[in-house]
Amino acid sequence: MEVQQLHMKRFLGRSIKLVFTLLLFILIFTELGERYLPVPRSALTKDNTTLFLSGGKTLFGLRGSEPQPIALGEACGFKGGKISMRDETGKIRRVDIDVLCHEVTSEQPTTPPGDATRAAVNALELRVFEVQDEGYNEISLSAATAEQVYIKTRGWWRVAPIKPKDLWYELKDLDMGVFWFWMAFAGIMKFIGVFASMWRWAILLRGQSLILPFRYLLGTFFTARFFGMFLPGTLGLDGYRLYDSIRQTRRPIECTAVIAVEKLIGFVALFGLLFLTLPMGLKVIQSKGLPFNWTIFTIVLIVYGAIIGFALLILFWPWVAQTMLRLLPGPLKGRFQSKLDHVVKSTTAYANNRWLLIKAILLGFVVHFNTVLMYVGTMRAITTPEVNIIDIFFAAPLLITGTVFGPSIGGEGIRELVFTYLLGDLTSPAKAFLMAHLGFWVGEFLVSIPGAFFYALRPTGYKAKLTVADIEEVKKAK
């Protein structure tokens, strides 16, 4: 009965995560609450002051500037900003500026005669809607026949103005030579990060005097990644490694301590990377039309620094962390002390081997840094000159954080949501989506599929066998 209940819980948990993952994709391609405001054609001239520019809310929820009147001809220069207009009731509603303003393109002759290339012209074309039998039809303002046209407002929920067909348009225009070169670069960067993660695990195992051969670590690590591709966060990666290492060594306490310390080191590396890359996000914040607030920015950095500092305290001076745990207030003490005390005890084996911890932390940075470089590769693969490496170094750590802590399967949906929201205003939302989604095929699928072969080739009850050379090699490296 207990086994059946366990299987039922796992089935329900995975089903919920699958539904959540699918829901994220639906939300990315969905807009809710949009309206169509009737506007006279005569009001839509470049010199008429019919719109308002507002700072709205800041990135951290603080109120921005009050709406300021703005000429329609100027509004198209504020893509990503909060552009509004009054509806028939006098209420100010946010206009979908991405639909309203379109770049005008034309065919321009080049040398030799007969060739032509599409070149952007320094002009913008206003787009409106007319009511037809099938609903609202988008047309250019110059082609409108009715005196009354409609402007679309932005709904209360929309990640970006993106439709599935937009992805196809981006894919079919790719330069395949450039695409495969940078995808290969992305794959190499990710594999380096994976091997750094495996090396970190090996170092921490040695710190607990657990001697396992490299061929075993290689097979188990890639098998764990394969299972992790179908499970949320790092549940599959950590869970399988813990199970198999306990089965091999019969030392559950030490194996559990290794995973606990590795998770703590992962927090140090990830939040350290966030701390370093957060100042690079000014351009992204401005593209969202959000005023920058130095006070809130400083507070966020202090919070990141406090998390990193406390984690380092647990790693290098566990006795200080234990003393701090005893000073916690009553409610917090009962809730957090048991978990934190377990992590603190796990670090005691490493307290006198700080160089080993430093190496593990540096490898943790390599893991996340190379994941960021992987997204630099996917960005270059689809040719996005509007997005630069600095933008990726700001957005990618936030994406990694979402996939680590989010309840989706393999991080799917979360990575696309983060990149489309953060980078969609710098480039086309479809390109931002593809930058993130290609990271799944490289960062999850490509480096996880080998694990299926390792798992299939290993016999039932596989036991790692140490040779004299293995023992000597481990002793030298320790």
CA 312 to chain centre: 25
**pLDDT tens per residue across span 137-158:** 888 888 888 888 888 888 888 8
* Residue 192: pLDDT over 70: yes
Gap between the Cα atoms of 157 and 406, Å rounded: 20
CA distances from 461 to 54, 242, 464 (A): 65, 16, 10
Look at strands 148-152 and 92-94 and give their pairing: unpaired
- Residue 52: pLDDT band (50, 70, 90) is confident
* Residue 58: pLDDT over 60: no
Look at strands 148-152 and 82-86 and give their pairing: unpaired
The answer to whether 288 and 425 have CB atoms below 8 angstroms apart is: yes
Q: Nearest CA to 423 among 365, 463, 382, 371?
A: 382
Q: Nearest CA to 274 among 400, 397, 440?
A: 397
Q: Nearest CA to 214 among 195, 238, 235, 189?
A: 195
**pLDDT tens per residue across span 398-419:** 999 988 887 787 788 899 999 9
The answer to whether 158 and 26 have CB atoms below 8 angstroms apart is: no
Sequence-distant (≥ 6) Cβ neighbours of residue 197 within 8 angstroms:
221, 363, 367
Residue 3's pLDDT is: 56
Tokens of 362: 């540096």
How big is the CA angle at 66 (ends 61 and 72), to the nearest 5 degrees? 115
**pLDDT tens per residue across span 325-352:** 666 665 555 555 666 666 666 677 777 7
In single-letter form, the type of residue at position 432 comes to A
How big is the CA angle at 141 (ends 135 and 142), to the nearest 5 degrees? 125
Look at strands 92-94 and 116-132 and give their pairing: unpaired
* Residue 183: pLDDT over 70: yes
* Residue 378: pLDDT over 90: yes
Residue 82's Cβ-count burial label (10 Å; 0-12, 13-18, 19+) is: buried
Torsions phi, psi for 250 (to 5 deg): 60, 30
Strands (E), 87-234: 92-94, 101-109, 116-132, 135-140, 148-152
The answer to whether 195 and 175 have CB atoms below 8 angstroms apart is: no
In single-letter form, the type of residue at position 260 comes to A
Residue 110's pLDDT is: 45
Tokens of 157: 């929920």
Q: In this prediction, what percent of the chain has a pLDDT beyond 90?
A: 21
Residues linked to residue 451 through DSSP beta bridges, in sequence order: none
* Residue 9: pLDDT over 60: yes
In single-letter form, the type of residue at position 273 comes to L
Sequence-distant (≥ 6) Cβ neighbours of residue 244 within 8 angstroms:
220, 223, 224
* Consecutive H or E run containing 53: strand 51-54
**pLDDT tens per residue across span 272-285:** 999 999 888 878 87
Mean predicted lDDT score pLDDT of the chain: 79
Residue that is written with structure tokens 């966030």 in the block: 274
At residue 46, the 3 state secondary structure works out as coil
Look at strands 36-40 and 135-140 and give their pairing: unpaired
**pLDDT tens per residue across span 431-476:** 999 999 999 999 888 888 888 888 888 877 676 665 545 555 555 5
* Consecutive H or E run containing 372: helix 354-381
Gap between the Cα atoms of 301 and 279, Å rounded: 9
* Residue 86: pLDDT over 90: no
One DSSP character per residue, 62-115 reads -B-PPPEEE-HHHHGGGTTSEEEEE-TTS-EEEB-HHHHEEEEEEEEE-SSTT-
